[in-house]
Amino acid sequence: MKIDDNSSAKNQIITAVKRAQTASCELATTKGSLRSQGVQILAQEIENAFDEILEANTLDLETSREMAVPELILEWLKLTPERLQNTVQILKRIGELSDPIQRVMNAPYQLDPAQTYCQLMPLGVIAFIYEAFPELAAIAAGLCLKTGNSLILRGGSEASHCNAAIAKVMKNALEDAKLPSGSLEILSSDLGSAISELVVQDQYINLVIPYGRDSLVKQVTQRATAPVLRSAMGNCYLYWSPSGELDLARWVILDSHASEPDPVNALEKVLIHRNQKSSTLVRLFKSLEEKGFELHGDPELAQEFPDQLKLAEESEWDRAYLKKIVSFKVVDNIEAAIAWMNQYSSGHANCLVTESYAESRQFAQEIDSALVYINSSPRFYRNSKRGDSVFLGMSNQKGHRRGLIGLETFTTLKQVVQGERRN
């Protein structure tokens, strides 16, 4: 997705964000039951429109192939009945969850004799800028409606037909639910400067979420004057301790790559202790090769295992592959592993396989990562089966809502101080 400086769309952008801001004020005071009903109607409308959405998606895929769009984007773009059904299930679940808005919590301080408390409130206007993944528009809309926020969508040109089909469905759902029409604004990918103009509307927009390749996320972050919540995927690390079992290490690597179509928490780099047995490494390499993985290694490993490993370039260690590629590197100890991860990983999900309690405590305390997994797969589930666990993605930034992007990500805290009445 390209960001350019064409200013012809500025008036359309400003009109859209103003409508969204006006709608957000009304939506914030709408009863939770009505917002939940709106999400349920959205789920039903999406389910009823499977054929139209899939037909539009097929047209996008044909056009994208003719334009030599990268295979990675084609994979993200391609919808299936299963992906759409999963989207419907996510929306239904969002609609069934308790209303997060107005949830009251203890305040970090008390003012005597006043009563002090906090409550969750909507952020206001959210802008979601995304590549491919057409179903994410509906999921983002569900999360925003549930939390009383307006949403501005700007999808990529590679999914223009499918985005338009889903937008039509969502607009109809808003109308059926009798929610403000400005609660959902869709910016066409034909507006060349839409992203450039959108991300500087900090007077109206309260949060921008870019979702896609690292190049898109960086471009939005560099241009935006509105607050940005950076999403992240790929370039997660595993440190395989000498005490860790081979079968567990193999499983967490394979399972982390199973969150299709977007490998949010895929383990793409593995750090190995120098004392790990060569025969054990060969077994791991062969098992990954059998699963279709391409394997890279640092100079030491690539020289020792030339039949299994391709030499990894220095530039690979701090960037995501977003493919079935895993690179291996030798380290001397857990301290070296942690230092390397803190410098080169994406910092949103890193993993340790060990039988040492001391190592697990050290790793949990010292690794600079939004989520830390110890003897557990970091596989990302957009629709987990436990708790209020519906997630749009992951963020690796320190600040607003680091980690999983869920319902509370779209809220903020209001502190209320209520004094006693004086006669």
**What pLDDT shows up at residue 192?**
62
pLDDT of residue 2: 47
Of 250, 258, 255, nearest in space to 285 by CA? 250
Residue 214 has pLDDT above 60, yes or no: yes
Measured CA to CA, the distance from residue 214 to residue 146 in angstroms comes to 28
- pLDDT tens, residue by residue, 87-129: 999 999 999 999 988 788 787 777 777 788 888 899 999 999 9
Assign 253 a pLDDT band (cuts: 50, 70, 90). Answer: very high
Q: For residue 420, give the DSSP letter.
A: P
Residues 137 and 153: beta-carbon distance below 8 Å: yes
What are the domain boundaries of the chain? 10-231+392-418, 236-374
**More reliable by pLDDT, 249 or 259:** 249
The three-state secondary structure class of 271 is strand
Q: What is the mean pLDDT of the chain?
A: 92
Q: What percent of the chain has pLDDT over 90?
A: 81
pLDDT at 154: 94
Is pLDDT of 1 > 80? no
Q: What is the 3-state secondary structure (H, E, C) of 306-362?
A: CCCCEECCHHHCCCCCCCCEEEEEEECCHHHHHHHHHHHCCCCEEEEECCCHHHHHH
Please identify which residue in the block is written with the tokens 């349920």. Answer: 40
- Which tens digit of pLDDT belongs to each residue from 28-44? 999 999 999 999 999 99
Say whether domain 236-374 belongs to CATH 3.40.309.10.
yes
pLDDT over 80 (residue 216) = yes
pLDDT per residue as tens digits for the range 195-207: 888 999 999 999 9
**The pLDDT value given to residue 45:** 97
Percentage of the residues of the chain whose pLDDT score is greater than 70: 96
Sign of the torsion formed by the C-alpha atoms of 178, 180, 183 and 188: positive
pTM for the model:
0.91
Q: How far is CA 34 from CA 27, 96, 178, in A?
A: 10, 12, 9
Output phi, psi for 268, to 5 deg: -105, -10
Bond into 113 cis (ω within 30): yes
Q: Among the residues of 31-70, which ranges form H helices?
A: 32-48, 50-66
How many other C-beta atoms are found inside a 10 Å radius of the C-beta of residue 254?
Answer: 18
Which structure tokens are listed for 350?
């890193």
Residue 4 pLDDT: 47
329: left (phi over 0), alpha (psi -120 to 50) or beta: beta
Q: How confident is the model at residue 193 (pLDDT cuts 50, 70, 90)?
A: low
Q: 236-374: same fold as 10-231+392-418?
A: no
pLDDT band at 386, cuts 50/70/90?
low
Residue 262 has pLDDT above 90, yes or no: no
Pair 211, 184: CB distance under 8 Å:
no
State how far the alpha carbon of 146 is from the alpha carbons of 39, 88, 152, 188, in Å: 7, 15, 15, 24
Superfamily for domain range 10-231+392-418: Aldehyde Dehydrogenase; Chain A, domain 1 (3.40.605.10)
- pLDDT of 389 above 90: no
Q: Sheet harboring 267-273: ordered strands across?
A: 310-311, 294-297, 325-331, 267-273, 236-240, 349-353, 371-374
Give the tokens for residue 60. Answer: 């996008």
